[in-house]
Amino acid sequence: MQVVFGGTFDPVHNGHLRVLEQVLDQTGAGHALLVPAAAPNLRPAPVAPPAARLEMLETAVAGDPRLAVSDLELRRPGVSYTIDTLGALEELDPGPDRAILLGADAARSIPRWDRAAELLRRADFIVINRSGCPGVSLGELLALGFPAERTTVLAVSSPPVSAREVRRRVSAGERIDQLVPEAVRRIIERDGLYRKPAPRA
């Protein structure tokens, strides 16, 4: 099975990577595909340019053969909708079973997603409850329209890192070496990313 993990990855951080490791271990899925959004639907535009977010992701997954990155949302003009991404992935490679990985917060927001009913009809889902964040129960997910037979809820522990905190620290001149892989930290430093306080940093 292939796990599809979307996000802004602005930047990718250790929380993303730890959660993926645990999801792959717990589900026995062979692979995860990380899909950075060009223009997310329900949140502000990312701070770092698409090419930089892609490079950071590719660098972060380089040591793990189970992880890969797709730039298909970055190449698609306009807002990035998961239902379009699922269709594009199925067209590119109809082979593997796929599951969309969602944090509990993202799962709760599903009624606001574009063509949510179609997505809920077509996709398999893995919803993660992570330590320190308000979780979601299977009952709640079913009430939101998630399909009982195609939804798995997993509990994972992951460091309480957020991309927002990484950006805040960089703009404040603080260290981020515990929050992101070293190679990602070097790209942030090399390109001077996140140095200016961003509106949502």
The 3 state secondary structure assigned to 36-91 is ECCEECCCCCCCCCHHHHHHHHHHHHCCCCCEEECCHHHHCCCEECHHHHHHHHHH
Nearer to ligand ATP, 43 or 115 (CB): 43
Could you say whether residue 73 binds ligand ATP (CB under 6 A)? no
Return the percent helix, strand and coil in the chain, to nearest 5. Answer: 40, 20, 40
Distance CA(54)–CA(37), nearest Å, equals 10
Shortest distance, CB of residue 101 to ligand ATP, whole angstroms? 7
Pick out residues in 19-58 that bind ligand ATP (CB under 6 A). Answer: 19
The backbone torsions φ and ψ at residue 151, rounded to the nearest 5 degrees and listed phi first, read -125, 125
CB nearer ligand ATP, residue 35 or residue 94: 35
Q: How far is the CB of 63 from ligand ATP (least distance, A)?
A: 19
Contact 55, 187 (CB under 8 A): yes
Decide if residue 185 touches ligand ATP (CB under 6 A).
Answer: no
Longest Cα–Cα distance of the chain, Å, equals 48
Binding to ligand ATP by residue 105, rule CB under 6 A? Answer: yes
Cβ closer to ligand ATP: 48 or 89? 48
If the CB atoms of residues 22 and 191 are measured against ligand ATP, the closer one turns out to be 22
Among 164, 186, 190, 196, binds ligand ATP (CB under 6 A): 164
Write the binding mask 4 to 23 for ligand ATP: x where contact by CB under 6 A, - elsewhere.
---xxxx----xx--x----
CA distances from 157 to 26, 128, 183 (A): 12, 10, 23
Compose the 116-155 pattern: x for residues touching ligand ATP by CB under 6 A, - for all others: --------------x-------------------------
Q: Whose CA is closest to 47, among 184, 164, 175? A: 164
Residues that bind ligand ATP (CB under 6 A): 7-10, 15-16, 19, 102-103, 105-106, 130, 158-164
